[in-house]
Chain A
């Protein structure tokens, strides 16, 4: 029985290319362009060492978007568990490699980029959950027993990433997973119950946090307690932002002496520098760009017939949103400093590749929005 207009499973390539949502790509390009400019500024008006590589990575990322965009969505559906398994193995690999004496290591060197399995995991976890919930019926989702497996699928990578230790990424993976649970229709009271349970677990989890992680959380709660240590960067960041004012201090001009003490202006604190040099207006432009990207994801999802595509699109949009919210929130003192980059703008290959892949997958969902998949993809319902 057909419930909607069914496309043939194989769409012509040219047709797919025409269906690609180029406005989304233009938004991403705009963000990367801002990134290029900020990295140029961070190096004191130099394309070395960051801006140039960022540009190269952007073009590679563009290729990734197009390729992922035209790949049939069934491929991602079928491969969901395999991608997930590969990501878990890579996570375990860096974990073990770290223990075997290469020191704490979060990445695998691939030449142009250093691949962080935890970044890959952010996407894999969304795909695997989208697939899991795609084949669950309305009633099955209502049954708590059916939630055990996806909860495990989220917790396993979260625990591995916390052990690295990378609190920011772990939180992002957990929240992305949570959002899919929500969209898939898990009852609200279950979230409330787990939330209360989570609160009860806080003192236990606290004991497993490393000293510097505890310190960062405490510092976030009251930065004044440690103005020279961990709180120092937050205070400096706020001063830089505050002194930017409405119009900012101008491109490359913005570097006041206090910025001298800002760490990682090319990665975590790139937004601080941007808002200092271009002021409130510059900051709002960036926020608007990310807002539009988020909106796009949501709006596109409404036009998708198949549940997997919808869940995937919302999930990945949320992943991008979380990057933005956590990064900007932390440099403005709304959230603890956990070390999450700003997508498309911060320097860093893994994060850029993850963000670009997410966009590519969203575009694939959009291109194949009319494809209908049964509970086991081959079965045309």
Chain B
């Protein structure tokens, strides 16, 4: 019985095995048939051509979209790039070909060495770059000689070109060759010389501007000369990106910010020559590209100021200029940057690679006082006429808290306090309103917020809270820290962009607008929402900002001069970078000029114009620039004057 079943099963297995064997046999036959079809039948297609000719598949890189300003002036565009390549399998002797080439155009021994080692490493049919950005003249010379230059190919590519160089570099960003870690498997990224956005708009809108590559068959002869191109797909151009920036204003603001309070003189001025002759090197970051250098009243050549400025339309949030200095020339990345220049960019203490307008984090200093005043007004713990006497110093807890004016301001109301930037008044408000409500008001004005408006690398800043401090340092919040925060010092941090947004929201009637960098047709004007602030309170604060510039005791009253055709308001801030010791306070050795650059105060100014009907807003931060009203205020004034002159928001 068991034996019978065993036999039955054995027979069944054998039968099934035979069936399976048959299936596999036919599948093998299918593979063989397919192989035959591909290698014999389809191969016929390629054999109809002469022996020397063959088809290559060519991947045509797409043309990158441009970056335009609000008036369609290109900030980033493409220009023809003539390149020479060598294909080692098409020449008997690479070194000999290069020697011949050297007789026609300049090829440095360094690049010869690079080319020789690259041709050894790469497969023999892969073209190796010999040189790029050739002049038309050189191209013509090489073209005539091609019969004697086997393996040399002339190729026209596209190079990214930034006509405004470093003036808009922190907006446009730059493109560079893709790094190993950025490869996604998309073959177009592996084309030699293909570049992608590495920072700025180039990075954040890379995929939109990149477009789509096309694949095309080309028939080439044995020398690699293209005989004919077969019709194929068309490349898809990348899309343009149009910004709200006004490049005129942007250029002006960049130059003005870099100039600071120094005199701008041409680079061929005898004074510059003298400085160089005396063996003094130009300071790091000195930029003769604009044809000018900074010089102070004693004739010393100075580095351009390091800082940021943002100009915005307070009605619709358009960012009209966004400046960070010093910058660098993004074209140098397109044409290849040497190691020394790159090292220089990275080691420069004024960090030209960082977009300080969105990434730089600074304490707001006295520019924060409007927020504290509003917090106190809205909480009902103070009103416009609340009077406080400033003796120059108060004791609170176990510490002494100073006003910037050693001898005190006497009796002040709120508008006076803003006008004269009295610290004691703010300490009093801070005691009444508390850190929580100050922080809440700051958040309503955009502190601690990122806007994702199109530029990469936005910093969040910091609104300090007791909970935050406990989490970060494991320590309790001191009441004294509330006082320090109320004058914009201590832990609190913000970006120049956030300062501009704050000022917009102050002057537009308390509407929570966000910065806008992309120009699109269906732009919303004023947001209908509101921060729900009492208009009377906003008026009080704006009155104070008016007085800062136009009042008889305003901290920035000296920036007003007769030539001015407009009026503006604003608020200065000077942020201590280094704690002032008791000794220094006593001896009065506080002059910014006498301190080393990195210990000087940051100078800030936020401003708006026109005074009676505010439309444009500017924030200026000058790193280690000294006093806000002496360094940053004149810059803000000139930028606003230029803004009103250009009036970019007019219809």
Contacts and interface: CB of A to CB of B under 8 A. Distances in A.
A44 B123 contact: yes
B28 A291 contact: yes
A298 B233 CA distance: 50
B330 to A, nearest CB: 28
A243 B186 CA distance: 24
B40 interface: yes
B36 A138 contact: no
Interface residues of A, number: 56
A179 B20 contact: yes
A242 B39 contact: yes
Contact of A182 (B20, B42, B57, B188): B20
A232 B56 CA distance: 14
B123 A314 contact: no
Contacts of A243: 43, 46
Nearest to A280: B39
A182 B16 contact: yes
Contact of B40 (A246, A260, A321): A246
A288 to B, nearest CB: 9
Contact of A242 (B21, B38, B188, B212): B38
A198 interface: no
A227 interface: yes
B35 interface: yes
Contact of A228 (B34, B125, B213): B213
B17 interface: yes
A287 B24 contact: no
Interface string A1-16: 1010000000000000
Interface in A248-289: 255-258, 260-261, 263, 275, 279-280, 283-284, 287
Given A228-B215, A257-B56, A301 B43 contact: no
Interface stretch (B3-11, B318-326, B342-350): B3-11
- Complex A-B, nearest 8 residue pairs according to Cβ-Cβ distance, in ascending order: A280-B39, A185-B12, A242-B42, A241-B38, A245-B43, A3-B3, A283-B35, A183-B16
B126 interface: yes
27 contacts: A3-B2, A182-B16, A185-B9, A227-B215, A228-B59, A228-B186, A228-B213, A236-B57, A242-B42, A244-B39, A245-B39, A245-B40, A245-B43, A246-B40, A257-B125, A257-B126, A263-B185, A280-B36, A284-B32, A298-B20, A298-B24, A302-B14, A307-B10, A325-B28, A332-B31, A334-B34, A381-B2
A260 B3 contact: no
B100 interface: no
A182 B20 CA distance: 9
Contacts of B24: 294, 298, 318, 321
A53 interface: no
A329 interface: yes
Contact of A302 (B8, B12, B17, B27): B17
A138 B57 contact: no
Contact of B20 (A138, A183, A239): A183
A194 interface: no
B13 A185 contact: yes
Contacts of B188: 228
Contacts of A126: none
A243 B20 CA distance: 34
B3 A1 contact: yes
Contacts of B39: 241-242, 244-246, 275, 279-280, 283
Interface in A80-95: none
A307 B35 contact: no
B187 interface: yes
Contacts of B337: none
A241 B35 contact: yes
A14 to B, nearest CB: 30
Interface string B111-131: 000000000000101100000
Nearest to A244: B39
A272 B24 CA distance: 22
Interface centre among B16, B34, B35 (most CB of A within 10 A): B35
A138 B5 contact: yes
Give the residue among B24, B47, B125, B190 with the most A Cβ atoms within 10 A.
Answer: B24
A295 B43 CA distance: 31
Interface in A191-239: 227-229, 232, 236, 238-239
Query: Which has the most chain A C-beta neighbours within 10 Å: B16, B47, B215?
Result: B16
Contacts of B36: 280
Interface centre among A242, A255, A302, A333 (most CB of B within 10 A): A242
Contacts of B25: 291
A74 interface: no
B184 to A, nearest CB: 10
Nearest to B16: A183
Contacts of A185: 9, 12-13, 16
Given A184-B13, A257-B126, A298-B21, A229 B186 contact: yes
Given A227-B215, A284-B32, 18 more contacts: A1-B2, A3-B2, A3-B6, A44-B123, A138-B9, A183-B13, A228-B213, A241-B35, A245-B47, A256-B56, A256-B125, A260-B125, A295-B21, A307-B10, A310-B13, A314-B17, A321-B24, A334-B31
A287 B31 contact: yes
Contacts of A301: 17
Contact of A287 (B35, B123, B213): B35
B2 A239 contact: no
B187 A261 contact: yes
B443 to A, nearest CB: 33
A171 B20 CA distance: 18
Contacts of B126: 257, 260
A137 B187 contact: no
Interface in B18-55: 20-21, 24-25, 27-28, 30-32, 34-36, 38-40, 42-43, 45-47, 54
Interface string A139-179: 00000000000000000000000000000000000000001
Nearest to B214: A228
Contacts of A260: 123, 125-126
Nearest to B37: A332
Contacts of B21: 295, 298
A138 B8 contact: yes
Contacts of A280: 35-36, 39-40
A242 B13 CA distance: 41
A328 interface: yes
B38 A238 contact: yes
A284 B20 contact: no
A183 B39 CA distance: 36
A183 B17 contact: yes
A258 B56 contact: yes
A218 B39 CA distance: 25
A275 B37 CA distance: 13
